[in-house]
Amino acid sequence: DFGTPLTTKLNELECYIDPAGCSCREINILMAEVGGTIPNEISECTVLVSLLIKSNSVRGTIPSSLGSIRTLKVIDLGRNYLQGSIPSELGLLTQLRILSLERNNL
């Protein structure tokens, strides 16, 4: 059993969350022509250190739930089609060292 799939898919890529929690430390999707949105359920990955979804076709907004992943050190969502504002909750990420959001519609 792979756990419960997140409700939102990035193209055909699904992230599975084990009932005991997500043990994923890195998500790296670079230049893969991936579309879709970033699901709010990503906050269930409480040990995530690096979130790189760069140079794809991801749309929608940056979920404010990212601010609850206190282990994040790197967020790179550059070169997508994200829109809206940058969630103030990202300011809660005291370990964050790199935040790259260039070439979006923010």
Q: Which amino acid is at 61?
A: T
Asked if the model's pLDDT at residue 19 lies above 60, the reply is: no
Residue 105 CA neighbour count, 13 Å, CB half: 9
Tell me: the pLDDT tens digits for 44-84? 888 899 999 999 999 999 999 999 999 999 999 999 999 99
Across the chain, what does the average pLDDT equal? 83
Token pair for 58: 């991801």
Asked if the model's pLDDT at residue 18 lies above 60, the reply is: no
Asked if the model's pLDDT at residue 100 lies above 70, the reply is: yes
Of 48, 53, 61, nearest to 93 (Cα)?
Answer: 48
